[in-house]
Chains A and B, each alone.
Chain A
Amino acid sequence: MLWIERQRYFIDFALSSLMRRWRKNIALVIVYTLVVFILASIVFFTQAIKREACTVLEGSPDIIVQRLVAGRQDLIPARYADELRKITGVSEVRGRLWAYYFDPASSANYTVISTERPGRDEGCVLMGQGVARSMHAGKGDLIAIRGHDGSYQSFEVKDTFSSGSELVSADLIEMSGKDFRGLFGIQEAYFTDITMKVRNAQERTVVSRKVLNILPDTRPILRDEILRTYETAFAWRSGILLIIFTGSILAFLIFAWDKATSLSIEEKREIGILKAIGWDTGEVIVLKSWEGLIISLSSFLAGIIFAYIHVFFASSTIFEPVLKGWAVVYPRFRLVPSIDPYQITTLLFLTVLPYTIATIIPSWIASAIEPDSAMRL
């Protein structure tokens, strides 16, 4: 209890002493907040986009089989699917049709896929929000797509995808299989690739080994691998960004060190008085630590909150181009807000830890002022 009472006094006094010198501290808090804001934006953004990618891939097939001809991907014959069905442990095999389509009018690349969903009307398409925006098309409009023979075919936009999973569906145009084959000139006997479902997760590697044995000219890709590749890519990008910002962290630390070492005469006088009227060196260090902690926590909190707003509500306006860096079709999307203690600890290590360490020695120097210095003022 005695301990708590003492800490309350120290916190009170630390607060009032910070307020008395707010001019000196405000600059520090602003810079500190800015540093936390930048780093937190990077960390939040990568984490969220990683999560988004995971969610997306959740629904994707366990194994994708592509055919390679002379080291390049080629159309895969439909009969391959029958071969694949014979492998034990495989629960579903399906041929897929998808393509990239460059639209000269909006000068953007779209992904065109076909689905064999029942009720998919010929002559109609579904499209993502991104496509709708860049083509200036909405529900009920007609769009024209240039086919393999140079002629344009028009489709009616039946609907657009909901904006919930916009990151993936943004550049998507979905049409029926017949339209797709007609548009891109692909014969009935071929697919772009083949997808497989394997019920037992541990058998996937074995199954893909078998695929290679049966069909030596194919390349099986596991979903886990795609996930892993995405994750590494995002972690790498944000890591590199952080390293780039090391310079600004260092600058901030030098600034903080300078602020902590350059005590004004008034501050020195106050510490001398405290020492003289019966405060111990350790107690002055505690007081100084509270001052540091108050500055750290308020800046950290402010930085985190701003970053949270920036990433999850303002679509990371500042870092979007660097971190996403994919196509031009992704102008707007909202990430699902998520934050965990792991990110917070990471950020603490990158900001509060260096700040604290940079200020330990200056605050010790301040607290070691001789008590009898107050007698000599």
Chain B
Amino acid sequence: MIKLTNVTKVFNKNRPNEFTAVRNVDLEISGSSITVFKGPSGSGKTTLLSLIGCMTKPTTGRIYIREEEISSLSDRFLTDIRRKTFGFIFQGLNLIRGITALENVMLPGYPTGETNCILRGKAIHLLASLNIAHKAESKVELLSGGEAQRIAIARALINEPAIIIADEPTAHLDTRLSIDFMDNMEKLKNSGKKILLASHDPLVYASEIVDRIIEMRDGLITKEQA
């Protein structure tokens, strides 16, 4: 379902600060599973995830999502695929301060033009399934770390994506909340979603729900274990 052939991403090409973040990566990920990208910071995990997540285009190489070659698509189409296929959970959670939790969850649905009552209903349903519905009208800056984490998960799910991408999701969480997070991921996996995680937290990559671990260093895939 996801296929990368010989993908390379270079930043600042032909300039003194030229930097190759990902080099010659070949990769295939299929089925509902949890894949963890493991490696030290600067190893290219984040860049690889943003390439897969259609956030940026490869300098060379091809990326296929559901048999469709995406590296030569227009920006607008890429965005369209991104919001229909992927849900993102970021390291810093990246919630927008000053608006309510509910609005944050609904935000990815705005450009799709879904009617307000359907979108709102979906958001409330998601919040309820994550046991956080009582915080729907709170401003996000007033939420605890664990609550904010669950809001971020709900936001990633609002457009019903097939693939969840999470970059260092447990970086700011304590052990209990990290375990909590992995439980939620397991639920999602069981509901048929494909999950891609980047992490160097043993709580994540050593978890028994993980199906596949890909180790990275200096933009290269160094080791794989299933």
A and B touch in the complex (CB under 8 A): yes
> Which one of B75-83, B122-130, B181-189 is at the A interface?
B75-83
Give per-residue flags for A1-22: 1 if the beta carbon is below 8 A from chain B beta carbons, else 0.
Answer: 0110110111001001000100
CB-based contact A13/B110 at 8 Å: yes
Taking the closest CB of chain B, its distance from the CB of A364, in whole angstroms, is 13
B contact residues around A16 at 8 Å (CB): 98-99, 103
- Give complex CA distance A370, B47 in Å: 12
- Give complex CA distance A161, B86 in Å: 79
- Give complex CA distance A179, B110 in Å: 82
- Give complex CA distance A280, B112 in Å: 11
The reply on A105 being an interface residue by CB < 8 A is: no
CB-based contact A377/B91 at 8 Å: yes
Give per-residue flags for A335-377: 1 if the beta carbon is below 8 A from chain B beta carbons, else 0.
Answer: 0000000000000000000000000000000000011101111
Give per-residue flags for A257-283: 1 if the beta carbon is below 8 A from chain B beta carbons, else 0.
Answer: 000000000100110111011111111
CB-based contact A376/B88 at 8 Å: no
- Give complex CA distance A257, B159 in Å: 36
The reply on B27 being an interface residue by CB < 8 A is: no
The DSSP consensus for interface residues of chain A is helix
CB-based contact B114/A5 at 8 Å: yes
**CB-CB under 8 A for A280 and B79, given A2-B113, A6-B111, A372-B55:** yes
CB-based contact A376/B79 at 8 Å: no
CB-based contact B116/A279 at 8 Å: no
B contact residues around A272 at 8 Å (CB): 94
- Give complex CA distance A283, B98 in Å: 21
Taking the closest CB of chain B, its distance from the CB of A330, in whole angstroms, is 53
Q: Which of B95-141 contact A (CB under 8 A)?
A: 95-99, 103, 107-108, 110-116
Taking the closest CB of chain B, its distance from the CB of A16, in whole angstroms, is 6
B interface residues, tally (CB under 8 Å)? 37
A contact residues around B145 at 8 Å (CB): none
CB-based contact A280/B94 at 8 Å: no
**CB-CB under 8 A for A372 and B110, given A20-B98, A277-B155, A377-B92:** no
A contact residues around B50 at 8 Å (CB): 371-372, 375
- Give complex CA distance A276, B78 in Å: 12
Q: Which residue of A lies closest to B106 (CB)?
A: A9
CB-based A-B contact count at 8 angstroms? 89
The reply on B90 being an interface residue by CB < 8 A is: yes
User: Could you say which interface size class chain A belongs to?
Assistant: 20 to 34
The reply on B20 being an interface residue by CB < 8 A is: no
The reply on B167 being an interface residue by CB < 8 A is: yes
- Give complex CA distance A370, B103 in Å: 23
- Give complex CA distance A277, B155 in Å: 9
CB-based contact A375/B82 at 8 Å: no
CB-based contact A270/B96 at 8 Å: yes
Taking the closest CB of chain B, its distance from the CB of A327, in whole angstroms, is 58
Q: Which residue of B lies closest to A377 (CB)?
A: B92
CB-based contact B115/A276 at 8 Å: no
**CB-CB under 8 A for A375 and B46, given A277-B155, A278-B82, A370-B56:** yes
Q: Which of B75, B91, B98, B99 meets A280, CB within 8 Å?
A: B75
Q: Which residue of B lies closest to A21 (CB)?
A: B98
Q: Which residue of B lies closest to A9 (CB)?
A: B110
A contact residues around B159 at 8 Å (CB): 278
Q: Which residue of A lies closest to B86 (CB)?
A: A278
CB-based contact B110/A374 at 8 Å: no
Taking the closest CB of chain A, its distance from the CB of B51, in whole angstroms, is 9
The reply on B49 being an interface residue by CB < 8 A is: yes
- Give complex CA distance A370, B46 in Å: 14
Please, could you name 23 A-B residue pairs with CB atoms under 8 Å apart, sorted by A?
A2-B113, A3-B113, A5-B113, A9-B110, A9-B111, A10-B110, A13-B107, A13-B110, A16-B103, A266-B97, A269-B94, A276-B55, A276-B90, A278-B79, A279-B111, A280-B75, A280-B76, A280-B79, A281-B79, A372-B47, A372-B55, A375-B50, A375-B90
Contacts A9-B111, A274-B107 given; 13 further ones with Cβ under 8 A?
A: A10-B110, A13-B107, A276-B55, A277-B107, A277-B155, A277-B156, A278-B111, A280-B75, A281-B76, A282-B76, A283-B111, A371-B82, A372-B46
